[in-house]
Structure 1
Amino acid sequence: MTGRILVFGGAHIDRRGRISGETAPGASNPGSWFEEPGGGGFNAARNLARLGHRVRMISPRGGDSTGEAVAAAAAAAGIDDRPFVFLDRKTPSYTAILERDGNLVIALADMELYRLFTPRRLGIRAVREAIDDADLILCDGNLPEETIAALAALADDLGKPLAAIAISPAKVVRFREVLPRIDYLFMNEAEAAAIAGIRPENPDQWPAILRGLGLKGGAITRGGRETIAFSGTVAASLAPPAIGEIADVTGAGDSFAAGVLSALIAGLPLDQAMRHGAAAAAITLQSPFATAEELSQDLLNERLPLVPDARILR
């Protein structure tokens, strides 16, 4: 089933430096440099478009060559790109340093432009029409807290399901006041701990903790360990599939979110949707890019047999 998905959030440039040897903190490390368009919302949007959905993206962007590169990537992925362009500003960027195995050492996010995406922009006629036309709204933590609150209220008033991507421990707290209005929040364990103020010894307790904060549904990825997800009265745990060499961890969480949402739109239950998310993430982990250009529903279906069944939590 094809869905109409409207995405608000980060669409910028990702710069990644990979250390070629053992990491030496506080010293010069030999390595290589790579950059591509990215951003949590944008990565998920490209994945959802490649999985066959009609995706529209709204985000602020600078009037520079970087913004043009993002627009070209959106067009290549089949996204209906509707940016707010600030001609006198630069497009945001995310710069990361990775270890040889692809794990993150440190990152710097230059996201000042996103502060200009104020709640009043949601009242623009074209934006309201896009919201009215959507089957699902997806946003990420790059948006200002007040804009997230206004979008959540608008989605609630219109009866539109709202999904969200945490982005980072520092940004996930922007969702704290609107958790009861979010249908699915995708986060890693550090982000879940940041919004909950606690990290349980038993990860199976995450659904109860987050439900206690009012969240309707969500998923907590835990690297190579079991992912926990819940929605309504259902909760499940899924061990990630075995993967050979990891090319890059960037974008894996965004791919997981896209795979889960795509399956839920198609009417699959949560435990099966988690398997779709895990398959999409595995494809991305083996790609040098933040989104795997070869991702498709057919490829995802081919990888599904490699994903174990989810365990229903009692």
Structure 2
Amino acid sequence: MKQHEIAVFGGAHIDRRGRIIGSTAPGASNPGTWFEEAGGGGFNAARNLARLGHRVRMISPRGGDASGEMVAAAAAAAGVIDCPFTFLDRKTPSYTAILENDGNLAIALADMELYALFSPRRLQQRATREVIAASDLVLMDANLPQETLAALVRAASGDCRPIAGIAVSPAKVIRYGECLAGLDFLFMNEAEARALTGTENADAEAWPHLLRAVGLSGGVVTRGDRAAVAFDRMSACLAEPPALPALADVTGAGDALASGFLSARLSGLDLAASLRHGIAAALITLRSPYAAAEEMSANKLREALPLVPAPQMLA
């Protein structure tokens, strides 16, 4: 597989996850376990893409604290070229999630105030402009401010380089509103797709039409254990994720799907094959206790591919 130059802009922070043991008792103290690691939508994808063999640069705000050092160490361990904007007097952002015993999310709290300081002005720095110019793909997540996302899409446009986004959450995906037309792909779940389109309920087959109607030319909508749908300017397809006996943790699965999909797309594969690769990457992550599976690799991805059924093309 050819190594591609990839620039990732967005969240690189601390993920704290508590997992409840037994049945959840709302409004009460629940026994459980606690786990902490580096995370963030963009950073999870950056580490996956680096482990899949690409040369990846991560550009993100960072605090001058121990959490920032943990993020830097995780980048080095995954082979990501770390290019932070460090604010020595600030704390690194964090995401705290409480998971049900089965691995599904119960509730989460995001302390992301520092990302507001990543203004469009940062994109004008020479080093950042050079990173964008040298990239075969620019990937961003919606932890960044709306005006920064729009400025980044403008800066990355041209030279036939694909531009992709990760939705992050229903509250944040709307930050892409004014730059949707500049994205080649946006990766989201159904809740995020509903927030973007204003649609309450939709069948999987309807998402390509609904998302094109708001200006998006390509994307992937995941639907938990139900079929995921992908579309581009010319086509659309559905793929059923294989059933798993148990989930280690759902955190990072969507970021892994984006990584596998984009890696395949950069290699010249079509929409259906790229979706299969994305789902295979998500399977690797769902089996791992980490948001970015340490065992992710091109070989592991090939081994997981036969588990994913061939996608169904849509009219």
Category of TM-score, reference length = shorter chain: over 0.9
The answer to whether the Cα contact below 8 Å between 1:200 and 1:206 also exists between their aligned partners in 2 is no
Q: How does 1:22-61 map to 2 (within 5 A)?
A: 22-61=23-62
CA distance in 2, matches of 1:268, 1:141: 26
Cα deviation digits, residues 8-65 of structure 1 (max 9, x gap):
0000000000000100000000001000000000000000000000100000000001
Distance 1:304 1:123, change over 3 A: same
Residue in 2 aligned with 1:238? 239
The answer to whether the Cα contact below 8 Å between 2:133 and 2:156 also exists between their aligned partners in 1 is no
Aligned amino acid, residue 35 of structure 1: E
Q: Secondary structure at the match of 1:293?
A: coil
Residue in 1 aligned with 2:16? 15
Cα deviation digits, residues 225-246 of structure 1 (max 9, x gap):
0001101111000000122211
Residue in 2 aligned with 1:219? 220
How many pairs are equivalent? 314
Q: Secondary structure at the match of 2:131?
A: helix
Gaps of at least 5 residues in structure 2 are: none
Residue in 2 aligned with 1:81? 82
Between 93-102 and 241-250, the greater mean CA deviation after superposition: 241-250
Cα deviation digits, residues 133-168 of structure 1 (max 9, x gap):
000000000000000010111122554321000000
Q: Secondary structure at the match of 1:35?
A: strand
Between 193-202 and 253-262, the greater mean CA deviation after superposition: 193-202
Residue in 1 aligned with 2:185? 184
Q: How does 1:122-141 map to 2 (within 5 A)?
A: 122-141=123-142
Shift of 1:200: 4.1
Q: How does 1:241-256 map to 2 (within 5 A)?
A: 241-256=242-257
Gaps of at least 5 residues in structure 1 are: none
The answer to whether the Cα contact below 8 Å between 1:219 and 1:229 also exists between their aligned partners in 2 is yes
CA distance in 2, matches of 1:202, 1:165: 21
Q: How does 1:268-307 map to 2 (within 5 A)?
A: 268-307=269-308
Shift of 1:201: 3.4
Tell me if 1:210 matches 2:207: no
Tell me if 1:193 matches 2:194: yes
Aligned amino acid, residue 260 of structure 2: G
Aligned amino acid, residue 199 of structure 2: I
CA distance in 1, matches of 2:156, 2:198: 27
Aligned amino acid, residue 220 of structure 1: V
The answer to whether the Cα contact below 8 Å between 1:2 and 1:52 also exists between their aligned partners in 2 is yes
CA distance in 2, matches of 1:313, 1:6: 32
CA distance in 2, matches of 1:201, 1:131: 36
Residue in 1 aligned with 2:115? 114
CA distance in 1, matches of 2:310, 2:17: 34
Aligned amino acid, residue 6 of structure 2: I
Between 158-167 and 190-199, the greater mean CA deviation after superposition: 158-167
Q: Kindly, what percent of the aligned residue pairs are identical?
A: 64
The answer to whether the Cα contact below 8 Å between 1:166 and 1:185 also exists between their aligned partners in 2 is yes
CA distance in 2, matches of 1:217, 1:302: 27
CA distance in 1, matches of 2:111, 2:256: 23
Aligned amino acid, residue 55 of structure 1: V
Q: Secondary structure at the match of 2:157?
A: helix
Aligned amino acid, residue 22 of structure 1: S
CA distance in 1, matches of 2:195, 2:202: 15
Aligned amino acid, residue 31 of structure 2: P
CA distance in 2, matches of 1:179, 1:173: 10
Q: Secondary structure at the match of 1:13?
A: strand
CA distance in 2, matches of 1:192, 1:148: 18
TM-score with structure 2 length normalisation? 0.98
Q: Secondary structure at the match of 1:308?
A: coil
